Amino acid sequence: MSMNNNDTTFGSFIETRRKQKQISIRKMAEMLGITPAYLSDIEKNRRYAPDKEKLLEIARILMLSKEEIDIMFDLAGKSKGELPPDIPEYIMDREIVKVALRTANQNNATDEDWKAFIERLKRK
């Protein structure tokens, strides 16, 4: 389960990882097929996070771990005031997930309820 630092923004997350990999803003922009100015705007939080496909390209370029990808998706969603981009499709494609979320909502599921559910799934 990814819990990210509330002080971290999508842009700062990407900028930090890019610098850790010693990739210039020009080189990364070129690899993504966008302008360096556009990437700079993303890193400085002057633009929203890109779409899921571009996020997956960023993850590949920066060689992000599974946990880092989850954090990146969470921050991308937060930057737009939306669900993380890897979640809506999963919900839309599975009727049972909608039922589970409604049931949890109607029964005031606590964080402890969700943690127990997550641990049960991980043991499968």
**CATH class of this structure's domain 10-82:** mainly alpha
What is the torsional sign of CA 23, 17, 9, 81?
Answer: positive
Checking if the pLDDT of 6 tops 80, the result is no
Burial class (CB in 10 A: 0-12, 13-18, 19+), 36: middle
d(CA 7, CA 53): 25
Separation in Å, CA 26 to CA 5, 39, 48, 56, 97 = 27, 9, 19, 19, 41
DSSP 8-state secondary structure symbol assigned to residue 33: T
- pTM for the whole thing? 0.83
pLDDT digits (tens, 9 = 90+) for 57-110: 999 999 999 999 999 999 999 999 999 999 999 999 999 999 999 999 999 999
The residue extents of the domains of the chain are 10-82, 94-122
